[in-house]
Amino acid sequence: MKADRGFREREHTADWELEAWAPDFPSLLEQAALGLYALSGVRLHPGERRVRRFMVSAPDQETLLVRFLNELLYYGEQENLGFDQLKLNLSDMSLTVEAQGGVIAHRDKLVKAVTYHNLAVRRTEQGLEVNIVFDV
Give the Cα separation of 71 and 95 in Å (integer).
12
> What are the structural domains of the chain?
6-135 (3.55.10.10)
Residue 78, Cβ neighbours under 10 Å: how many?
A: 8
- Find out whether 82 and 44 touch, Cβ atoms under 8 Å: yes
d(CA 33, CA 134) in angstroms, rounded, equals 12
Centroid of chain to Cα 101: 14
pLDDT digits (tens, 9 = 90+) for 98-113: 999 999 999 999 999 9
pTM of this structure: 0.90
**Model confidence pLDDT, tens digit, residues 32-56:** 999 999 999 999 999 999 999 999 9
